[in-house]
Chains A and B, each alone.
Chain A
Amino acid sequence: MSGFVLIRGGRVIDPANGMDATGDVLLEDGIIRAVGRPDVPSGAKVLEADGLVVAPGLVDMHVHLREPGFEYKETIAGGTLAAAAGGVTTVACMPNTRPVNDDPSITGYILQKALLEGIVNVAPIGAVTKGLEGRELTEMGLLMRAGCVAFSDDGRPVADSGLMRRALDYSRAFGALIIQHAEEPSLSAGGCMHEGVVSSRLGLPGLPAAAESVMVDRDIRLVELTGGRYHVAHISVAGAVEAVARARARGLPVSCEVAPHHFSLTDEAVVGYDTDAKMSPPLRSVEDRNALLEGLARGVITVIATDHAPHDSDSKRVEFCHASNGVVGLETMLPVSLELVRDGVMTWMDCLRAMTVAPARLLGLDRGRGTLSPGSVADLVLFDPEAVWVVDAARLHGTSKNTCFHGRRVRGRVKKTLVAGRIVFDDDL
Chain B
Amino acid sequence: MGSHLWNRKHLLGMADLSREEIQSILDAAASLREVNRREIKKVPTLRGKTVINLFFENSTRTRTSFELAGKRMSADVINMSVASSSVKKGETLIDTLATLQAMNPDVVVIRHPESGAQEFLARHLDTAIVNAGDGRHEHPTQALLDLLTIHDHLPLLDRSGFEGLVVAVCGDSLHSRVARSIALGLRAMGGEVRFVGPPGLIPPKAEEAFGARVYHDMEEGLDGAHVVMALRLQLERMTVGFIPSVREYFAFWGLTRARLARAAPGAFVMHPGPINRGVEISSEVADDRERSVILEQVANGLAVRMAVLYRLCGVGGGR
A contact set with B: CB distance below 8 Å: 195-206, 272-273, 317-323
Contact = CB atoms under 8 A, between A and B. Distances in A.
Given A203-B137, A203-B180, 8 more contacts: A201-B180, A202-B116, A204-B135, A205-B136, A273-B115, A319-B112, A319-B114, A323-B90
Given A318-B94, A322-B90, A204 B209 contact: no
A200 B209 CA distance: 6
Nearest to B205: A197
Given A273-B116, A321-B114, A322-B114, A203 B135 contact: yes
9 contacts: A200-B204, A200-B206, A202-B116, A203-B116, A203-B180, A204-B135, A273-B115, A320-B114, A321-B135
A204 B210 CA distance: 15
Given A319-B90, A319-B117, A203 B209 contact: no
A251 to B, nearest CB: 37
A199 B90 CA distance: 20
Contacts of B209: 197-198, 200-201
Contact of B115 (A195, A317, A318, A321): A321
A273 B119 contact: yes
Most buried by B among A197, A203, A272: A203
Given A317-B94, A318-B94, A322-B90, A204 B204 contact: no
B116 A319 contact: yes
A206 B203 CA distance: 10
B136 A203 contact: yes
Contacts of A204: 115-116, 135, 137
Interface string B85-104: 00001110110000000000
Most buried by A among B90, B112, B177: B90
Interface string B112-142: 1011110110000000000000111110000
B180 to A, nearest CB: 6
Contacts of A321: 114-115, 135
Nearest to B206: A200
Contact of B120 (A196, A200, A206, A273): A273
A317 B210 CA distance: 29
Contact of B138 (A199, A200, A203, A206): A203
B178 to A, nearest CB: 11
Contacts of A272: 119
Nearest 8 interchain pairs by C-beta: A318-B90, A203-B137, A273-B116, A200-B203, A319-B114, A200-B209, A203-B115, A203-B136
A203 B15 CA distance: 12
Contacts of A273: 115-116, 119-120
B208 interface: yes
Given A273-B116, A320-B116, A203 B177 contact: yes
B300 to A, nearest CB: 24
B180 A195 contact: no
Contacts of B115: 202-204, 273, 319-321
Contacts of A320: 114-116, 120
A198 B15 CA distance: 12
Contact of B204 (A206, A317, A322): A206
Contacts of B203: 200
A197 B203 CA distance: 8
A342 B313 CA distance: 50
A11 to B, nearest CB: 44
A196 B207 CA distance: 11
Contacts of B138: 203
Nearest to A199: B204
B138 to A, nearest CB: 7
A147 B206 CA distance: 51
Contacts of B137: 202-204
Nearest to B88: A322
A244 B6 CA distance: 53
A88 B134 CA distance: 42
A160 B120 CA distance: 38
A240 to B, nearest CB: 19
B87 to A, nearest CB: 9
A179 B89 CA distance: 30
Contacts of B15: 201
Contacts of A322: 89-90, 114
A319 B91 CA distance: 9
Given A203-B134, A317-B94, A319-B93, A195 B116 contact: no
Interface in B58-109: 89-91, 93-94
Nearest to A317: B94
Nearest to A203: B137
Contacts of B117: 319
A319 B204 contact: no
A378 to B, nearest CB: 46
Contact of A197 (B89, B90, B112, B208): B208
Contacts of A201: 15, 180, 209-210
Contacts of A199: 204
Contacts of A317: 90, 94
A397 B151 CA distance: 57
